[in-house]
Amino acid sequence: MHDPAPNFTTGEYLTRIEKTRKAMDAAGLDAIFVTDPSNMSWLSGYDGWSFYVHQGVLLTQQGEPVWWGRAMDAVGAGLTVFMEHADSICGYDDTFVQNPEKHPMQELAKLMAAHGLEGAHIGVELDNYYYTAAAHMSLTNALPSAKFSDATGLVNWQRAVKSAQEIEYMRRAARIVETMHARILDVAEVGMRKNDLVAEIYSTAIRGADGHWGDYPAIVPMAPSGMDATAPHLTWDDKPMKTGEATFFEIAGAHKRYQCPQSRTLFLGAAPQKYLDAEAAVLDAMEAGLEHAKPGNQAQDIANAFNKTLNDAGFEKEGRCGYAIGISYPPDWGERTISFRRGDTTILEPGMTFHFMPALWLDDGGLEITEPILITETGHECLCTTPRKLSVKA
């Protein structure tokens, strides 16, 4: 027995479980086993850096969810999950860890059988980062009479509309990322090594803002300069910052695992006209997209308005221009559900949160000016107050 996890009330966890069970019913599932750490935490409260070993949360149609993982991590589960019964935390022996002779899923199969699931219809997350092909083979071989179906995204979709407490955590994360961007503008200068600048970013992120501490982000800072910034996902090195180069900073504030990403671009020296033109086009296109960020509209409405305005200004962006965000663990801060792109007909609802991410990559650099947004009852709220512009510093 222990006190409930402090991040949310037991009532909120039970509401999440009820919602998830309705989705399980609709899919004809007797149980689900989720290995995505975000889904594990959302359903149970578990929070630990143990996702490099096999672990998960088992949810059936009755009773508490069951945390299952490495035995030594059961201690951390006992300190973070909301469940009150001792048998809701199950650990497997350490001899199963990274041992080619046997697999932990053999132990999970025994747990499932103990819950009467030998012949059940079980949903597993086939397409996520944490459930391997070997894990699936081991589990299905150990439960030959059970039926397994892909439940990737089933829990993720239940997370789309945030509770008041979740939104509060995201607002705290927003204050942190604002502080991070302000620190970049304060200290970045010609000749500064990029790794020294990133050290300032990390220090600011973890110190937090407004009295709220900073958690680790689900993605490391993306901070490429010059030609490196023509690619979207490079990080940093020890090269000194140079006059005449743009650097975009795709970073996130995080609080209690809730992520608030935001990007801004800094140009050292006089910005060329093409960057100023790109800035104007992106800002106009963002305004056009944000006009459609309101309940009742479809996710694609934002993308279509953004892309039309951008194209009219002579620029094009390949790929989506936004995605759902919330609680997350490495390697991604997106929820892997809703995207701002043509064809996504998801209806926007109050309480949904997104990273509106209209980045452009030019022939000699990149421009990222992005906004985390909340859909409200009447429209939307930009969670951050960071000036929306290309920053220029001599």
What is 199-220 written as a DSSP string? HHHHHHHHH-BTTBPPPPPSSP
- 160 and 338 in contact (C-beta within 8 Å)? yes
- C-alpha distances in Å from residue 11, one per residue of 44, 82, 84, 255, 385: 12, 10, 13, 21, 33
Return the domain boundaries, the chain: 10-158, 164-393
Q: Which amino acid is at 125?
A: E
pLDDT in tens, the chain (394 residues): 455 456 999 999 999 999 999 999 999 999 999 999 999 999 999 999 999 999 999 999 999 999 999 999 999 999 999 999 999 999 999 999 999 999 999 999 999 999 999 999 999 999 999 999 999 999 999 999 999 999 999 999 999 999 999 999 999 999 999 999 999 999 999 999 999 999 999 999 999 999 999 999 999 999 999 999 999 899 999 999 999 999 999 999 999 999 999 999 999 999 999 999 999 999 999 999 999 999 999 999 999 999 999 999 999 888 899 999 999 999 999 999 999 999 999 999 999 999 999 889 888 999 999 999 999 999 999 999 999 999 999 8
Secondary structure letter of residue 65 according to DSSP? -
Secondary structure letter of residue 383 according to DSSP? S
Pick the CATH number of 10-158 from 3.40.50.2300, 3.40.350.10, 3.10.310.10, 3.30.420.40: 3.40.350.10
The residue whose two tokens read 């070997």 is: 134
The phi and psi torsions of 160 (rounded to 5 degrees) equal -60, -45
Best CA proximity match to 77, nearest among 86, 85, 89:
89
- Distance between CA atoms of residues 372 and 357, nearest Å: 8
- 271 and 390 in contact (C-beta within 8 Å)? yes
The phi and psi torsions of 341 (rounded to 5 degrees) equal -160, 160
- Distance between CA atoms of residues 90 and 46, nearest Å: 13
CATH superfamily of 164-393: Creatinase/methionine aminopeptidase superfamily (3.90.230.10)
Tokens coding 122: 């079980």
